[in-house]
Structure 1
Amino acid sequence: MSEVRLSNLSKAFGETIAVDDVTMTIPNGALVTLLGPTGAGKTTILRLISGLEQPDSGDVSIGGRSVVDDTPAQRNVAMVFQQYSLYPHMSVQDNLAFPLRSPLLKTPAEEIERKVSEIAEVLRISHKMNNKATELSGGEMQRVSIGRALVREPTIFLMDEPLSSLDAKLRSDLRIELKRIQESLGATLLYVTHDQIEAMTMSTHVGVLDHGRLVQFGTPREIYENPVNLYVAGRLGQPRINVLPADMFAGAPAGADKMGLRPEHIQQGEGKGSMVKRIEHLGDQIRLHLTLDGHDVVTLSEPHSDLEPGDTVAIQPRNPLFFDASGVRIT
């Protein structure tokens, strides 16, 4: 595995700027997530690293060496896509072995068998090796798809929303599984998603993209607790951060236009009175939907709260975030 460095990387398609002067380092052995909505430039960055696209300007280096003039095969990266891309007529064994049978790699048969067996154990699909791909469940097919990348021992794994087509339970299970695999192999992995839960739970680092620009890069905790602007603050956190006028409560700093309040940063029992509109019972907690001076506010409450719609609850901010009129954080 190798450190991957992007330096002032840019790419446009006609009038559309897909990647705009991105500089970022993916440390060796890290799991870095690129987070952003559709059109933010996430997949284009993967394609620029893999060599499927050429940058208009800037550089991509792997292991300290520029690879912009290398072919995709020379870069030795492995991509996993949203769709499984398996050969349906082949067994799991043959699907896993297929990349190693490339004439370019010239991998000995006994080495292929060893690697395939090891990866099958890691992915916990050894009992499915003789099954055709069409006989697998969705989660098993995605494991095989991931396994086809893992057998190659590339410099970096590039994963383009590989779990987004799975149901919620399976997505949750495979998030844990993928993180376990990455840690056990010491793999360098760049993972693209629009799902903030994936970004928060899996990553060592998160890069937040907005219209091709890298807005902030750091650990999930840094991004969550110290967002550089209102856009970043809104990308992480479930429920989403509450955005209120800065003067709704006392204590706003000079120049503040908006206050950002995470649901868990709203203290109940004193402060301004708000009306309960709706209550969501989530088992381990209650999500309260409130109205405060005409603004919607979402906060959390104890699971055994006896509040009802129409009740009034006093709230006040704790550790609020403040932003100026352009959305830039005021610290």
Structure 2
Amino acid sequence: MAEVALDAVSRRYGSTVAVDDLSLTVGDGELVVLLGPTGAGKTTTLRLVAGLERPESGTVSIGGLPMDGVPPAGRDVAFVFQQFSLYPHLTVFDNLAFPLRSPLHRQPEPAIRARVEEIAALLRIGHKLGNRATRLSGGEMQRVAIGRALVRRPAVYLMDEPLSALDAKLRAGLRLELKRIKDELGATILYVTHDQIEAMTLATRIGVLDRGRLLQVGTPREVYERPRSVQVAARLGTPAINLFPAGLLPAPGAPPATRTIGARTEHLRLGPPDGSLGPNARPALVRRVEHLGDQSYLHLETGGHALVVLADPHAPLRAGDTIAVELVAPLCFDAAGERIEAAPPAREPAAATPLRRAQP
């Protein structure tokens, strides 16, 4: 496998900046996920690495070698596209074998059969090798598409939202499969998605993209717990991070320059409106309760601002109830939306009194 390095790479289409001065290194055997919304520059970045697009400035290197002027076929990369792109008239075996029968990578048929059967077993589709591609489920077709990239052992795998066309259950299953395959192969993978769960599940490191600019790179935990900006904080977390003006809730340790507070679910504590939660608690009105089985989303309103928090599904709450909410260990952002360090809390917060519906 090989390291991929992008050094100050930019690409424009007319007046639109698709990739803006992007520098990123994907280490040998690493799985880096580029996370961002539609139009962030994710696919363009993959196409620049693959050689399907040329950078207007900057350098793309693979294995320490600059790729300037090297055509896609000479870069030893495999691309898994968002659409399955299978040959419908061929069997699963022939779809998987196709790259190994091409003039550039031709191998003897016994070696092809051995490799195809190895990858089919890895993807758990060995029993489908005789089926035509049109007789597969969506998840099986995507496994074949991924397998077609795996069979020839390229230096780098490029994956462009390969799970986005699948339903939620299939996506969850294939996320785990991709993680297992990556660990078993030790492959170098650059993967792009708009799905934060995919990013958190798969990535060795996450790079957050917005409008062609790389906002932050770090481990999933680093990006989630220490986002550099409001934009980065809003990309990760379910439910989405609560953002509200400083002063809405008391925030001990917040620097004077704080203008916006970010509060994830674990940064908000709930309790009864009887003062037992603490002096920094404020009353909040329950606007709506979403029951999700193992947990509930509470949609609250306090000081004219909406908050969404997770709560015990057995808490006897309903719309119209009043509870107390307290802010613990907030994320603080300045007027430009950049995170600034908050002072550590002076004490560990005490456990909240269990929520009970107030008696009429």
TM value normalised by structure 2: 0.91
1:129 counterpart residue number: 129
Larger radius of gyration: 2
Alignment-mate amino acid for residue 193 of structure 1: T
State the shift of 1:68 in Å: 2.2
Q: Give the secondary structure class of the aligned counterpart of 2:231.
A: helix
Residue in structure 2 matching 1:310, options 311, 320, 324: 320
- Any stretches of 5+ residues in structure 1 without a counterpart? none
| Rounded Cα–Cα distance in structure 1 between residues aligned with 2:69 and 2:45 | 16
1:253 counterpart residue number: 255
State the shift of 1:106 in Å: 2.5
Map Cα deviations across residues 193-215 of structure 1 (whole Å, 9 max, x no partner): 00111111111100000110000
Map Cα deviations across residues 162-205 of structure 1 (whole Å, 9 max, x no partner): 11111111111111111111111111111110011111111110
| Rounded Cα–Cα distance in structure 1 between residues aligned with 2:8 and 2:92 | 41
1:38 counterpart residue number: 38
2:172 counterpart residue number: 172
1:262 counterpart residue number: 264
1:76 counterpart residue number: 76
Alignment of 1:27-176 (within 5 A): 27-176=27-176
| Rounded Cα–Cα distance in structure 2 between residues aligned with 1:117 and 1:68 | 36
State the shift of 1:285 in Å: 1.2
| Rounded Cα–Cα distance in structure 1 between residues aligned with 2:284 and 2:222 | 31
Q: Give the secondary structure class of the aligned counterpart of 1:247.
A: coil
State the shift of 1:300 in Å: 1.1
1:221 counterpart residue number: 221
State the shift of 1:282 in Å: 1.3
- Which one is further off, 100-109 or 161-170? 100-109
Please state if 1:295 is matched with 2:297.
no
Please state if 1:323 is matched with 2:325.
no
Map Cα deviations across residues 202-253 of structure 1 (whole Å, 9 max, x no partner): 1110000011000000000000000000000000001000001111223331
- Which one is further off, 57-66 or 102-111? 102-111
| Rounded Cα–Cα distance in structure 2 between residues aligned with 1:205 and 1:177 | 18
- Which one is further off, 175-184 or 105-114? 105-114
TM value normalised by structure 1: 0.99
| Rounded Cα–Cα distance in structure 2 between residues aligned with 1:319 and 1:176 | 32
Percent of residue pairs identical: 60
| Rounded Cα–Cα distance in structure 2 between residues aligned with 1:260 and 1:195 | 21
| Rounded Cα–Cα distance in structure 1 between residues aligned with 2:154 and 2:327 | 48
